[in-house]
Amino acid sequence: DAGITQSPRHKVTETGTPVTLRCHQTENHRYMYWYRQDPGHGLRLIHYSYGVKDTDKGEVSDGYSVSRSKTEDFLLTLESATSSQTSVYFCANRAEGGTEAFFGQGTRLTVV
Amino acid sequence: QKEVEQNSGPLSVPEGAIASLNCTYSDRGSQSFFWYRQYSGKSPELIMFIYSNGDKEDGRFTAQLNKASQYVSLLIRDSQPSDSATYLCAVKARLVFGTGTRLLVSP
């Protein structure tokens, strides 16, 4: 793998609270991605990054923000969590020109 | 129109049969694609990367890309119960995935 870890692995939070998920890579891969996965929807792209401080929106970005101040970390923030954001979140990375994207272990987030 | 589309299935095949999984994409400019496999509760893992028209083979897996018709397919020969999983197609640019096709291989 490409040394990609997500934290926390599980989290339960209350509606309206802010939540930050962390994706950390030990490789200096240029591209990093955040997805959510829900039954029947596959992996839906939330945001992605193509370099430090360079990010762009994906298919389902509403309610989410991201930051990448260092190559190795890509943070996903839910400013005010809602029950519809209960999901499994995956982070991935890919080297420039790379022919494989590597995934983290996933974070199960429950908003109650 | 979704960028990448797959039939969600399930696709059921008997052990030893060929499983055929299909994916279409909307952006004619898309150049290269991934096939990933995901077991329930696990992270996706790469099966194949393809960027040239035609077939690419790796063991029991063959990926086919037809850019004129904008589809990518994955054939699994001699399907095994351990192949039962969800198969995800993705376009390399922005790494956008389809919804995935669930494959069930019965003994």
Q: B85 CB contacts (<8 Å, ≥6 apart)?
A: B37, B38, B39, B40, B102, B103
Give the model's pLDDT for residue A41.
85
Q: What is the mean pLDDT of residues A9-26?
A: 97
Interchain contact B96–A (C-beta under 8 A): yes
Are B38 and B49 within 8 A, CB to CB?
no
Distance, CA of B36 to CA of B31 (rounded, Å): 17
Checking if the pLDDT of A20 tops 90, the result is yes
What chain B residue is nearest to A44 in terms of C-alpha separation? B97
Distance, CA of B21 to CA of B30 (rounded, Å): 19
Distance, CA of A6 to CA of A32 (rounded, Å): 12
Confidence of residue A1 (pLDDT cuts 50, 70, 90): low
| DSSP 3-state percent helix, strand, coil across chain B (nearest 5) | 5, 55, 40
Q: Which residues of chain B have pLDDT under 70?
A: none
Nearest to B43 among A59, A94, A103 (CB): A103
Interchain contact B46–A (C-beta under 8 A): yes
Task: List the beta bridge partners of residue B46.
Answer: B36
Distance, CA of A9 to CA of A23 (rounded, Å): 11
Interval A60-83: pLDDT, tens: 999 999 999 999 999 999 999 999
Distance, CA of B5 to CA of B88 (rounded, Å): 10
Determine whether the interchain pair A43/B43 forms a contact, defined as Cβ–Cβ distance below 8 Å: no
Q: What is the mean pLDDT of residues A91-102?
A: 93
Q: Which of A5, A96, A57 is nearest to B43 (CA)?
A: A5
The alpha carbons of chain A give a radius of gyration, in whole angstroms, of 13
3-state secondary structure of B47: strand
Q: Chain A residues with CB-CB distance to B under 8 A?
A: 31, 33, 35, 40-45, 48, 58-59, 90, 92, 94, 99-101, 103-106
Distance from CA of B80 to the nearest CA of A (A): 23
3-state secondary structure of A112: coil
Give the model's pLDDT for residue A81.
97
Interchain contact B8–A (C-beta under 8 A): yes
Confidence of residue A2 (pLDDT cuts 50, 70, 90): low
Q: Whole-number mean pLDDT of chain A?
A: 95
| Terminal-to-terminal C-alpha distance of chain A | 33
Comparing A41 with B35, the larger pLDDT belongs to: B35
User: Counting beta carbons within 10 angstroms of the beta carbon of residue A63, is it exposed (0 to 12), middle (13 to 18) or buried (19 or more)?
Assistant: middle
